[in-house]
């Protein structure tokens, strides 16, 4: 089976108003130190029995903003992975990038080091929306970054978008999609803005300064997104993800297939040998563990077969194609349609799930209320 590596870069020039991922403000000193310790973690994990001889088919460097690091650091990280792990020749190697933190030279160096996919955080297409989100770039700069990546030779670029921004009109969202489609990226992720506790956005909503987007509008934005992107040659392959032929994100597909992966760096998550692991999420703790030659593990959780089935189902159902019943049988030795007979019967009756061929999948009615379907499969 497929194995992936995720590497977290917990630094940003400025943290966005809606973001609740772990990230620190960029500081030269800090970044250097972090990369050193990251090297050490990579070595330790690569030497472990579980990862020593594995074939790695995807690497994903995410954040934070990986590209706020000087390009040499990024190259150093990629190279380290190649030296320590067994990376398949056709491996997908993605780096997340934000406009304003990139230039053509950086892209060239990354490409040269083996990076073959870029995930560009464009997020929105109007300056009002971008500044509302707390992004530091303009849409023009996003286009510039995209163009530089193309010029440098990147042939697989994904663009991240956010919809349901307070004050955003349906028409503005459609226009935004048209602008993005015109750029012709290979991949588009469109996420509905989530107002997470602990973020500045959450506080603004609590205080009544900001009115969250109306649910009905969000839903229409979602349907429009699917329609427009389909009309322009993109396959809607996961609830929030769209790709041109052959350009689905292999790294994320591995998550949705509930495959194994190794997370490296601050607050990164791993899943292998039926255990989920979360790394330390404050930088001091992370350093301290590694200094003491310990893996910086915050907690781990053993996943029993029952839980593994549930996770496989709710991750797999996120894919529009659904979840392969034969794959499920091969993996667990029992039939999904028998084990969850009553649940499936009920959900099919409510027109939320359907079985087509070998696949169990969400119906069009089920997609926007997927959580209500997923919870039925939890133990």
Partner 1 sequence: MERRQERMRNFCIIAHIDHGKSTLADRLLEHTGSLTEREMSEQVLDQMDLERERGITIKMQAVRLGYHAVDGQDYVLNLIDTPGHVDFAYEVSRSLAACEGVLLVVDAAQGIEAQTIANVYMALDHNLEIIPVINKIDLPAAEPERVKQEIENVIGLDCSDAIMTSAKIGTGVEEILEQIVNKIPPPLGDDDAPLKALIFDSHYDSYKGVIAYIRVVNGILKNGMRIKLMQTGKSFEVNELGVFLPAAAKIKELYAGEVGFVSASMKDVADTRVGDTITCVDNPTSNPLPGYRKATPMVYCGLYPVETVDYQDLRDALDKLQLNDASLVYEPEVSEALGFGFRCGYLGLLHMEIIQERLEREYNLILITTAPSVVYQVYTTDGNLVEVENPTNLPSPGNIEFIEEPFVKAAIMVPNEYVGPIMELCEDRRGQFKNMEYFGTNRVLITYELPLSEIIFDFFDQIKSRTRGYASLDYEVAGYLESKLVKMDILVNGEPMDALSCVVHRDKAYVHGKALVEKLKNLIPRQMFDIPLQATIGSKVIARETVKARRKDVLAKCYGGDVTRKRKLLEKQKEGKQRMKQVGKVEIPQEAFMAVLGVEK
Footprint of partner 1 (CB under 8 A): 6, 8, 21, 62, 189, 191-194, 215-216, 218-219, 222, 239-240, 252, 255, 258, 261, 263, 268-271, 276, 278, 301, 307, 310-311, 314-315, 350, 367-372, 374-375, 378
Closer residue to partner 1 in complex, CB, 35/277 = 277
* Helix then strand then coil, % of the chain, to nearest 5: 45, 25, 30
309 close to 274: Cβ distance less than 8 angstroms: no
- Identify the sign of the CA torsion 50, 268, 194, 14: negative
Closer residue to partner 1 in complex, CB, 143/370 = 370
**How many Å apart are CA 153 and CA 176, to the nearest integer?**
25
Q: What are residue 9's DSSP bridge partners? A: 63
Min dist. Cβ of residue 121 to partner 1 (A): 13
Min dist. Cβ of residue 96 to partner 1 (A): 10
Min dist. Cβ of residue 222 to partner 1 (A): 8
Min dist. Cβ of residue 120 to partner 1 (A): 15
Element (H, E) at 347: helix 341-349
Closer residue to partner 1 in complex, CB, 104/281 = 281
Closer residue to partner 1 in complex, CB, 96/186 = 96
Min dist. Cβ of residue 25 to partner 1 (A): 20
Closer residue to partner 1 in complex, CB, 111/268 = 268
Min dist. Cβ of residue 27 to partner 1 (A): 23
Cβ neighbors of 275 (< 8 A, separation 6 or more) are 300, 301, 302, 303
Closer residue to partner 1 in complex, CB, 40/269 = 269
Helix (H, G, I), strand (E, B) or coil at 300: strand
Min dist. Cβ of residue 301 to partner 1 (A): 6
Residue among 174, 129, 185, 163 nearest 16 (CA): 129
**How many Å apart are CA 334 and CA 326, to the nearest integer?**
10
What is the full DSSP assignment across 110-158?
HHHHT--EEEEEEE-SSHHHHHHHT-S--HHHHHHHHHHHHHHT---EE
Closer residue to partner 1 in complex, CB, 44/278 = 278
- Identify the sign of the CA torsion 256, 262, 278, 331: positive
């Amino acid at each position: 089976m497929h194995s992936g590596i995720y590497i977290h870069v917990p630094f940003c020039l400025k943290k966005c108003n809606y973001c609740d991922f772990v990230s620190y403000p960029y500081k030269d000193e800090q970044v250097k130190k972090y990369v050193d310790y990251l090297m050490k973690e990579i070595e330790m994990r690569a030497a472990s029995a579980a990862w020593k001889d594995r074939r790695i088919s995807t690497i994903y460097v995410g954040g934070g903003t990986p590209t706020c690091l000087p390009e040499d650091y990024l190259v150093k990280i990629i190279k380290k992975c190649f030296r320590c792990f067994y990376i398949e020749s056709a491996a997908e190697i993605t780096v997340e990038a934000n406009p304003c933190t990139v230039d053509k030279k950086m892209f060239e160096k990354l490409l040269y080091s083996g990076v073959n996919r870029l995930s560009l955080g464009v997020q929105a297409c109007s300056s009002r929306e971008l500044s509302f989100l707390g992004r530091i770039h303009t849409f023009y700069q996003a286009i510039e970054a995209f163009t530089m990546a193309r010029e440098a030779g990147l042939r697989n670029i994904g663009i991240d978008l956010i919809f349901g921004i307070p004050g955003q009109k349906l028409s503005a969202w459609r226009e935004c999609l048209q602008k993005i489609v015109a750029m012709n990226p290979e991949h588009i992720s469109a996420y509905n803005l989530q107002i997470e506790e602990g973020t500045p956005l959450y506080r603004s909503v609590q205080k009544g300064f900001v009115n969250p987007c109306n649910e009905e509008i969000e839903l229409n934005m979602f349907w429009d997104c699917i329609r427009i992107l389909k009309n322009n040659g993109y396959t809607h392959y996961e609830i929030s993800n769209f790709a041109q032929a052959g350009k689905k994100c292999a790294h994320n597909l591995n998550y949705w297939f509930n495959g194994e992966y190794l997370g490296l760096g601050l607050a990164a998550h791993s899943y292998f040998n039926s255990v989920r692991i979360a790394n330390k999420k404050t930088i001091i703790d992370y350093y301290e563990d590694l200094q003491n030659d310990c893996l910086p593990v915050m907690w781990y959780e053993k996943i029993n077969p029952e839980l593994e089935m549930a996770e496989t189902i709710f991750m797999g159902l996120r894919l529009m194609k659904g979840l392969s019943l034969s794959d499920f049988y091969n993996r667990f030795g029992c039939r999904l349609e028998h084990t969850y007979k009553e649940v499936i019967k009920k959900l099919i009756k409510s027109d939320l799930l359907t079985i087509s061929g070998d696949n169990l999948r969400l119906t069009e009615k089920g997609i926007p209320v997927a959580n209500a379907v997923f919870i039925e499969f939890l133990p």
